[in-house]
Each structure stands twice: as C-alpha cells, then as structure tokens.
A = this chain, B = another copy of it.
C-alpha cells in the first residue's frame, strides 16, 4: 500500500476500533443490567445505553467513513477479492451503507419505541394482557415496514430485515427449505406421537445449584471455553456477549428441580462463545472480529448443545461423572434411561424448551406469521388467534392464554417484525452440515467425544470456521467449509438416524 493509502487505511481502522469499543461498552451496560444491576439502576442505565448507542451510530454514519472507503476503492486497495483487506472493506461498506440508509431520526424513534415496547411487554406478559402490547405491536409493524422501505428493490419486505442478520438470505431462498423441513417434521412428529411415552421424571428431582454450576463449567472448559477470557453469570434469559477479543461471557439460569435446563443452556452459550473466542487474533477489534451471521452463530451453539451435548457418545463418558455429582438423585437411572429422557420428543408450547424434532416447527410458525404480518395478510388484531391456530395445526397443542402464545418471546417486543427467527432454524440446518464435514475430515471425532475429549472437533472448527470471523459471507463460508450450499439433507439424516435409534425406525420421508 502506498503511504497515503496506508494513512487512510489506518484512519479507517482507528475509526472502526472506536465504534467497536463503544459497542463493547454497550454490551457491558446490557450484561450488567441482565445480571447484577439493582432495580434502582434502571432509569439511568436506559439513558447511558441510549447515549453510547447514539455515539456509536454517529460514528458509524460519519461521512468520513464513506469518503475513506471511496478513496481506498479508487486507489485499488482491496482489489484482490480474496484478501483480508477486501473482506474488511466489504464489511465496512456494508455497515456504512446500512446505517446511512436509515435516517437518524427514524433510528432514534425506533430505539425509543422498542425500549418502551419491551418495558410494557415485560409487565404485561405475566398478567396475560395482550391489549396492553397491541398498540406497540401496531407501531412496531408499521415501523418495520418503513425500515424495509429504506432498502428499495427488495422482493419481499422481510428481505432487508433478514439480510441485516443473515447476509444473503431472502424469503425466496428460505421458504422452500422451511416448507420441506416442516413437511418432514410433521411426518415424524405424527409417527412419534404413537410411540410409548419416555420416562423423564427423574430429571425433576432436587439438584442443588452449586453442583449444577460446577458440572456445567467443567463441561464448558472441556469443550474449550477459556475462563481467563470469559466467565459465566446468572440471568433470566441466557445469552453470550463479547466486550472485546479477550472477554466473551456466557450466562445461564438454574432451576433446582431441573437437572439439564441450565446445563444445555451452558453448552449452547459456550458454542456461541467458542466461535467468538476462536476468531483470528489478526482481526482483533476489527469489523471482522465477530461471527458472520445469526444463522452461522446459532449453528455453533446448536452443534455443541445438540450434536455433541445431547449425543450418546458424550454421555457415555460424562454420565458417570454426572452420577458422581448427584449419586442419590441418579442412583436408579442408567445411561440409556438418561439418554432417552434428555431426548424425549413431546410437542409443547414453549420454543426454548422444545426438543430437537419439534423445535423448528416453533420457528417456522413464527417465521410464517412475520411474513403474513409484513405482507398485510394478517393484522395485529388477528395475530393471537392465528398463533393458536398454527400451533394447533403444526404441533397439535393450544396455549390457554397469550402469555404462552403470541407474547411468549421477547423478539417482536424488542426488535423489528421480520428477520427475528429464521436464524434459529438456519442454525440447526447448518449445524448438521458443519458437523458432518468435521466428522468426514476427522473420523475419530465421535470416538474422542466418547472419551470426553473435544480437541479435534474444536480445533477443526476453529481452523475452518471460527478463525475467519466475518471474513466470508455465510454462503461463502458454508461452501468453503462443507463444499455444499445450504441443504436440509444432512439435518434430516441426522434426525432420522438419532430418533430411529431412540424410538424405533422413523417412516421414510415422502
């Protein structure tokens, strides 16, 4: 790079680093609010978060960034499409164009509206008061449509909202995949409903928190989570958050009458954190120092939680250790009974508690409702009943209220309608693709897992996936790592194999 180009490059990097650090400060403000903040701190915390968010937004949309990007483009910097420089400029351009398309006044109004909407939802949900949130949902829907309009040329109003978190994805690409998945799952859910019920009552015995926590942290460490570069704390709704390359924290919550809820949540957030912790140090604090999309992120949380954590090889090694921690509670439970219990399939009302087979039906219902709302096929007034009808149709269950119906998830009450849910199922699909590729490359992985050893799997994922951060788009990364585009076949094959072994042969798909 010529010296005047280098100076511009350095200025661009320095400007981004300031944005990165402000985002890290925002993340700390949120983490503290969700873990330790006393209730009296809420009012000032909202102001602090809004202030830091505004300072970051001002810097993201600073015309100097657009000017530097143009000048570096003109000078030919990043002209090698495969170079790190090109990837950085591409991601910086994407961020700049996205944030400058949204008028600052709109952005500020939306943030404030969503903050109020969240507060009203948090209060209204326990008392099942949909009427209280309805006007907020109306405005959220109107503003989500408006948001989409700032990105002209889209085929569907959800597309810009989806692209924001799952770059390159569109309704046209997602819908056929989700529909094929839905049909397959419907067949299996119907078949599994005919099988004898699995006993899992022993998971609800008394399991003291301290032991749950110690066991969970052992598992996280074994997976590869580095407690000198992170920590685990308690919260209501578990999440992973990152303040910088050396500080990626996970959170969970403990129920003493539930052995596995916290444990699988810990594995899930560990998966997210392994991705963030594994990014190449050369990208530290740059625009590439983050996972590349919601779906790829979720593929890693689900891979560690489900493909590893709910697998029989994992428990072959770990179940004796768990029994040693809870000798009385698990004295009468053998490995097979335990393994069946943690994989019990049971259509239910709550997404986050769903098993692997029914989980995606929860997501697909929500994704469909989002599209219908944005297209105007469905009104906010009709939403609660539409929710119940689709749950009845897809899962055969019917919530007795809106609390466990349309008000169940925080997403529509704290973010736009559109783009909120597809990442979960994209993640499940990709998890199987990535895992199959890993095992194909390193066939000893499953035997190692059965020995309590995860180094080969973790190392392969770090080398092939994690270290790239946001260098590649989700499509590029998937192709690069698995040699394939997005496809549900490995996922269906995984489910059929696993649940046939558990429940007896599942029917072939039509």
Contacts and interface: CB of A to CB of B under 8 A. Distances in A.
Interface of A: 17-18, 21-22, 24-25, 28-29, 32, 36-45, 47-48, 51-52, 55, 226-231, 233, 243-247, 249, 285
Contact of A231 (B36, B51, B226): B36
Nearest to A51: B21
Given A24-B44, A44-B24, A55-B55, A38 B227 contact: yes
A44 B231 contact: no
Contact of A39 (B29, B42, B44, B228): B228
Contacts of A51: 18, 21-22, 25
Given A38-B231, A40-B246, A41-B246, 15 more contacts: A18-B51, A21-B44, A21-B48, A28-B29, A38-B229, A39-B246, A40-B229, A40-B245, A40-B247, A41-B244, A42-B246, A43-B244, A48-B243, A48-B244, A55-B55
Contacts of A32: 28, 32
A43 B245 CA distance: 9
Contacts of A21: 44, 47-48, 51
A214 B94 CA distance: 52
B40 A24 contact: no
Nearest to A285: B44
A369 to B, nearest CB: 38
B29 A246 contact: no
Contacts of A227: 38
**Candidate in A28, A40, A230, A245 with the most chain B CB atoms within 10 angstroms:** A40
Contact of A230 (B18, B28, B40, B48): B40
A38 B232 CA distance: 10
Contacts of A38: 227-231, 246-247, 249
Query: Which of A47, A229, A247 has the most chain B CB atoms closer than 10 A to its own CB?
Result: A247
Nearest to A40: B246
24 contacts: A18-B51, A21-B48, A25-B52, A28-B28, A28-B29, A28-B32, A28-B48, A36-B231, A38-B229, A38-B246, A38-B247, A39-B246, A40-B226, A40-B245, A41-B229, A41-B243, A42-B246, A43-B244, A44-B244, A44-B245, A44-B247, A44-B285, A45-B243, A48-B243
Integer count of this chain's copies in the complex: 2
Contacts of A247: 37-38, 40-41, 44-45
Contacts of A47: 17, 21, 244
Nearest to A246: B40
Contacts of A245: 40, 44
Nearest to A31: B32
Nearest to A47: B21
A64 B44 CA distance: 24
Contacts of A18: 51
A51 B22 CA distance: 8
A459 to B, nearest CB: 20
Contacts of A249: 38
Contacts of A24: 44, 48
A40 B233 contact: no
Contacts of A40: 226, 228-230, 245-247
A29 B29 CA distance: 9
Contacts of A48: 21, 24-25, 28, 243-244
B43 A246 contact: yes
Nearest to A35: B36
The 7 closest A-B pairs by CB, nearest first: A44-B244, A40-B246, A41-B247, A40-B229, A21-B48, A39-B228, A21-B51
A39 B231 CA distance: 10
Nearest to A36: B231
Nearest to A18: B51
A49 to B, nearest CB: 9
A243 B25 contact: no
